[in-house]
Amino acid sequence: MMSRILEPELMDDPLQATAYAEADFSAENQGFVDRFREYFPDCTQGHIFDLGCGPGDIPVRLALALPECRITGVDASAPMVQLAERTIQQAGLSDRVRVRCERFQDLAGVNQADAAVSNSLLHHIPNPLQFWHKLRLIVKPGSPVLVMDLLRPESPQAAQAIVDQYAKDAPDILRRDFYNSLLAAFTEDEIAAQLAQMNLTRLLIDVPDDRHWVVGGIIH
Ligand SMILES: C[S@@+](CC[C@H](N)C(=O)[O-])C[C@H]1O[C@@H](n2cnc3c(N)ncnc32)[C@H](O)[C@@H]1O
């Protein structure tokens, strides 16, 4: 198994952010929101945080699926936040969906969210324990969390094969980012070790396909 190769934490190159926003992640993102509703059917109200919200597609889909919830997206990339603000405004959801341009590590306050989600953020983070620590701090005890990200393949060749299979016709900048993200991602065993270290073993890990892991459950 190849070792993890870090990629830059933030996606703050405007071209990179635009290419990401223009890509079609609708099936993946809607699947993520559907999974949230399936895991946590009772979570229909309150304030949900989305850490590393990127261009805002998931906060908008969450808000549409959960019309009584407020969503706060957090992303430290100014171009991503601008794209997210535009998406939220175009969806007519500015009253319920907000974005904060901030590193999640710097979020102040504890017990402020009724639920938290995060998709495709963790592989950007040099020290993943910072993420699990903050996730636990920001939600109220007893709150649902759902986190999804890429799985690191066995080798650079396997990573390239995944890029070729799932992003064959994507622009070069997206193919490059996808490849680098796969190399920076964690294995299922590494995620399990992180959860054990943070005393979060009540959260369950699922591997729904050949390139993703999902962690979900109630944070106590
Ligand atoms: C691959 S994108 C995923 C965006 C979105 N969650 C989605 O699924 O479409 C990762 C995002 O995390 C943001 N990010 C990376 N490190 C961060 C940090 N420490 N705090 C906040 N946002 C961060 C990046 O700027 C980028 O927009």
Sheet containing strand 69-75, edge to edge, reads 97-101, 69-75, 46-51, 115-119, 143-150, 212-219, 204-206
- Pairing mode, if any, of strands 46-51 and 69-75? parallel
Q: According to the model, what pLDDT value does residue 93 have?
A: 98
Q: Which of 36, 71, 75, 105 to mutate to test the pocket of ligand 1 (most atoms within 8 A of CB)?
A: 75
pLDDT digits (tens, 9 = 90+) for 165-197: 999 999 999 999 999 999 999 999 999 999 999
Nearest residue by C-alpha to atom 8 in ligand 1: 119
Q: What is the pTM of this model?
A: 0.98
Total structural domains in the chain? Answer: 1
In a domain, 6, yes or no: no
Q: Whole domain around residue 177: which residue ranges? A: 14-219
In a domain, 7, yes or no: no
CATH number of the domain that 60 lies in? Answer: 3.40.50.150
In a domain, 136, yes or no: yes
Length of the chain: 220
pLDDT digits (tens, 9 = 90+) for 95-140: 999 999 999 999 999 999 999 999 999 999 999 999 999 999 999 9
In a domain, 131, yes or no: yes
How does the average pLDDT of the chain come out, rounded? Answer: 97
Task: Give the CA distances from residue 203 to residues 21, 146, 206, 215, in Å, rounded to whole numbers and listed in that order.
Answer: 30, 9, 10, 6
Separation of 177 CA from ligand 1 center, angstroms?
A: 13
In a domain, 205, yes or no: yes
pLDDT digits (tens, 9 = 90+) for 29-80: 999 999 999 999 999 999 999 999 999 999 999 999 999 999 999 999 999 9
Q: According to the model, what pLDDT value does residue 116 have?
A: 98
Ligand 1 first shell, C-beta below 6 A: 9-11, 25, 52-54, 57-58, 74-77, 80, 103-105, 119-121, 124
